[in-house]
């Protein structure tokens, strides 16, 4: 089983995004700890939870059948935004060439734990998987 490392989460945007090149956790928001942008870490630094919690993942390239779990419980995807290359960084876009997607997962009712994400590339290669610790 291949697990994607979260050691480098620099905003590299591929010129040709026909397949999925990588996926990572972009941000965690919760009632207890507010908004935390994740920059190359394998866990949050704040203790998240409370009445609501959302986890955002970024896919660089194109994939399908995304799935997310927190502590083994399936999470519901509540939003999908296209991402474009904005001066070498990924950013939500309304126009331009789509190079990936930002997905928002509803993790309400959880106080943290192991977050697992998997997406299947549209092109070649096996599923891209990642593990992330939400404190």
Three-class SS of 49-85: CCCCEEEEEEEECCEEEEEEEECCEECEEEEEEEEEE
pLDDT band at residue 7 using 50, 70 and 90 as cut-offs: very low
The model's pLDDT over 65-119, given as tens digits with 9 standing for 90+, comes to: 999 999 999 999 999 999 998 888 889 998 888 999 999 999 999 888 999 999 9
Give the tens place of pLDDT for each residue, 10-63: 344 444 446 888 999 999 999 999 999 998 899 999 999 999 999 999 999 999
Full set of structural domains in the chain with CATH: 22-134 (2.60.40.2870)
Instruction: Compute and round to an integer the Cα radius of gyration of the chain.
Output: 14
């Amino acid at each position: 089983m291949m697990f994607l490392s979260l050691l480098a989460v620099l905003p590299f945007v591929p010129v040709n995004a026909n397949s999925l090149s990588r996926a990572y956790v972009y941000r965690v928001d919760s009632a207890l700890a507010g908004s935390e942008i994740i920059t190359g870490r394998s866990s949050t630094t704040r203790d998240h939870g409370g009445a609501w919690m959302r986890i955002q993942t970024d896919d660089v390239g194109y994939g399908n059948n995304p799935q997310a779990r927190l502590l083994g419980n399936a999470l519901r995807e509540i939003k999908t935004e296209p991402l474009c290359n904005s001066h070498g960084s990924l950013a939500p876009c309304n126009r331009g060439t789509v190079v990936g997607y930002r997905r928002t997962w509803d993790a309400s009712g959880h106080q943290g734990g192991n977050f697992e994400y998997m997406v299947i590339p549209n092109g070649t290669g096996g599923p891209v998987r990642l593990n992330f610790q939400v404190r």
